[in-house]
């Protein structure tokens, strides 16, 4: 059966890959610093969930790379948060990561963002 013909309960096409997300994705524009061994650089979270994030970055990090993130937040953030993650997906303009330890609460609340990021 052609994957494009499979629909979800809402009638939307089902993705060809298996989703492993534990929580709902929330749009995010938080800035972040990433480091993986000697490789360091900047990034911006595109979306977050309780299980991970999609991060726009120019860094070339392969799947299974352990990454340390310092999430700096958006303009309303009151503090930075350090979190460990593992690269689970590589895209043209960034990476998908899964938190090594699920943060308690939302990333937004942890970094003290008082306003939600716009899409």
In this prediction, residue 79 carries a pLDDT of 77
Strands (E), 49-80: 52-56, 66-73
The residue segments making up the domain with residue 97 are 29-110
pLDDT in tens, 55-111: 999 999 999 999 999 988 777 777 788 889 999 999 999 999 998 886 666 666 666
**Domain count across the chain:** 1
What kind and span of H or E run contains 108?
A: helix 107-110
In this prediction, residue 68 carries a pLDDT of 96
In this prediction, residue 77 carries a pLDDT of 73
pLDDT in tens, 7-47: 545 555 555 544 554 567 788 888 999 999 999 999 999 98
The answer to whether residue 11 is domain-embedded is no
**pLDDT at 2 exceeding the cut of 50:** no
Query: CA-to-CA distance for 19 and 17, rounded, in angstroms?
Result: 6
- CATH code, domain with 37: 2.40.10.220
The answer to whether residue 53 is domain-embedded is yes
């Amino acid at each position: 059966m052609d994957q494009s013909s499979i629909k979800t309960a809402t009638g939307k096409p089902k993705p060809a890959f298996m989703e492993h997300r534990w929580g709902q994705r929330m749009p995010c524009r938080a800035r972040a610093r990433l480091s993986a061994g000697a490789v360091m650089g900047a990034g911006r979270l595109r979306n977050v969930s309780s299980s991970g994030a999609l991060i726009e970055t120019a860094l070339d990090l392969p799947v299974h790379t352990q990454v340390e993130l310092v999430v700096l937040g958006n303009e309303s953030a009151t503090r930075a948060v350090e979190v460990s993650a593992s690269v689970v997906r590589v895209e043209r303009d960034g990476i998908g990561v899964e938190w090594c330890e699920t943060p308690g609460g939302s990333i937004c609340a942890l970094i003290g963002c008082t306003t939600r990021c716009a899409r």
